[in-house]
Structure 1
Amino acid sequence: MIPLKRPKAPANLEKRLAVKSKSLTENYADAKKARDAWKGARAVRRDLKELLASMAAGFVRCMYCGDSLGTDIDHFKPIARDPLSAFIWENHFLACSHCNSNQKRDQYPCNHSGECLLVNPSREDPYDHIRLNLPTGKYQGRTEKGMETIRVFGLSRPDLELGRAHAYVRCESMLRDWSTRIENGREDAANTVLRSLMVQPFADVLYAMIKKSDAPGAANVFEADVLAALKSMRNKLETQDVMDSFQNP
């Protein structure tokens, strides 16, 4: 999971969402009414999905696991918990069917103060709550919110961990390739490698590598040439918006 920049909804879509939300409020909609309204809003769902696809990292991947195709619109705060938020743009994420239907479903854990215990990647940096063990591909929760996020979205699924571990090996190789092309003055070829690194399922792994490269003890985590490439890439990305780089490879 990586942080995501949420674009502003186009005026026409924003207006239609507001009309739908107003209707739910005026009709004191319960979960059933809200779900029926959501299922009946085919054009709105189509446009929302298109907007969410532009917000995803890489090729329309799930915003939670980052591995599978984002096929579903997930209500971060489930309709069962808050029917009136069914058409709120900020409550929508693109998810794969496994994360949405098999894992999260209507789960929305909160602490005793009512604060949601799921990382919202469009409002906070998941890295503050979840750390990636690069060689094993395992996510480790640093906070209660991080641990609940891993549990609810099933981010410790064996296939995901194996995929992230293999992606780490490929990222190391691609970073070396990127650095060599830069040194040889092959800027266009280097940018091709960089764009490939920044799409899922590499994005989660590369983002964790970039974060770790600036932390104490980085020299004990990465081989010297990989660390040098990461620092060089970090400097390059700091000349632009890093999240724009991940979301618009």
Structure 2
Amino acid sequence: MIRLERAALPVDTAAQLKVYTREVEQTSEVDRKDTAARLWSHSTVRRRVRDGLLTVLADMAPGHQRCMYCGDSQGTDIDHFEPKTLAPVRTFEWLNHLLACAYCNSNQKRSRFPRAEDGSPLLLDPTLEDPLAHLRLVLPLCTYKALTPQGEACIDVFGLNSRGVLVDGRRTAYGTAKQSVELWRIATDRGQYDKAAEVVRIAWNRPLADVLVAMFHQSGHPAAGLLFDGEEETLGLLRDQELRAAFLSRA
């Protein structure tokens, strides 16, 4: 997971969401869950709001429309961060919508929404909080270590460490990310600035951009020498201020 910025919706989509939210609110509390589910699944309602939501969510997502939770698969589903079965009034609330892959949405998260003792959500909304404060990617193992209860909940609910395809994918992403920073340095030293810019663009558009984010973040850690033990050349590149400026301006 990486930090994302929430964008503004088209005016007509935002207006339609408000109409349906009012319709749910005006329903008796006991019937709200059924009303929200009926409206969300209604073909006319979905046609009026789905395209607008998906377009903006796709633009917000990492890489080429990657899932905002795992960062690997294509985001195909509009996920309700707080499930509509638990918070029906938020079914059509823009701030409650994230882009998820079908696996994270239907196989992993479903209606799971763990809360802390004070009632606050334990899952992370990457448009509200920076996952780096809650999760640390252990390089080069490419498994996550929880730094907070929120991080622990995300690892559990989304299977961030138990899904072998994600861990293997991150290892591959780590290798390609190291190659990317090396290629950028070579191209820049040769004055091939267009090629260097293309290296940056491709690096961020690959799946599992969380690996690249973690590499730059951890290269500035006081214990970076230990975190990148045996990979001093990579660490040196990640600390190169010119390279950091080129890559992080696209983050």
Q: What band does the TM-score fall into relative to the shorter chain?
A: over 0.9
Q: Letter of the 1:4 partner, please give it.
A: L
Change (3 A) 1:236 1:224: same
C-alpha separation in 2, matches of 1:200 and 1:3? 16
Give the TM-score taking structure 1 as reference length: 0.92
Candidates 22, 33, 36, aligned match of 1:34 = 36
Letter of the aligned partner of 2:86 in structure 1? R
Rate the CA distance shift 1:202–1:174 in 2: closer, same or farther, 3 A: farther
Distance 1:199 1:66 in 2: 11
Distance 2:60 2:164 in 1: 27
Q: Distance in 2 between matches of 1:200 and 1:36?
A: 37
Could you tell me the TM-score, scaled by structure 2's length? 0.92
Tell me which residue corresponds to 1:195.
201
The gaps in structure 1 that reach 5 residues or longer are none
Q: Are 2:182 and 1:176 aligned?
A: yes
Q: Within 1, Cα distance between the matches of 2:227 and 2:85?
A: 44
In 1: Cα distance, 2:81 partner to 2:148 partner: 19
Aligned match of 1:235: 245
Q: Deviations over 1:168-207 (max 9, x none)?
A: 1111112111111111111100111111111242411000
The secondary structure found in structure 1 opposite 2:145 is strand
Q: Is the 8 A contact 2:182 2:237 kept in 1?
A: yes
User: How much has 1:83 moved relative to structure 2?
Assistant: 0.4
In the alignment, structure 2 segments of 5+ residues that lack a partner are none
Q: Give the secondary structure class of the aligned counterpart of 1:8.
A: coil
Larger RCO, structures 1/2 (Cα 8 Å, 6+ apart): 1
Q: Does 1:109 find its partner at 2:114?
A: yes
Contact 1:136–1:162 (CA<8 Å) still a contact in 2? no
Q: Is the 8 A contact 1:138 1:161 kept in 2?
A: yes
Q: Within 5 A, what are the aligned runs for 1:86-165?
A: 86-156=91-161, 157-165=163-171
Per mean C-alpha deviation after superposition, the further-off stretch among 5-14 and 89-98 is 5-14
Q: Deviations over 1:198-245 (max 9, x none)?
A: 12424110000010011112233333332232223323356x4xxxx2
2:62 aligned with 1:54: no
Query: 1:36, 1:2 → 2: CA distance?
Result: 33
Alpha-carbon distance in 2 for matches of 1:166, 1:53: 24
Letter in 2 for 1:160: L
Query: How large is the RMSD of aligned CA atoms in angstroms?
Result: 1.4
Q: CA deviation at 1:9?
A: 1.4
SS in 2 for 1:179: helix
CA distance in structure 1 between the partners assigned to 2:247 and 2:201 by the alignment: 12
User: Is 2:70–2:208's contact at 8 Å kept on the other side of the alignment?
Assistant: no
CA contact (8 A) 2:68 2:100 kept: yes
Tell me, in whole angstroms, the C-alpha distance in 1 between the residues paired with 2:184 and 2:91: 44
Greater Cα shift, 134-143 or 91-100: 134-143
Structure 1, residues 87-118: CA drift from partner, whole Å, max 9, x if none?
Answer: 00010011011100000000110011101001
Aligned residue pair count: 241
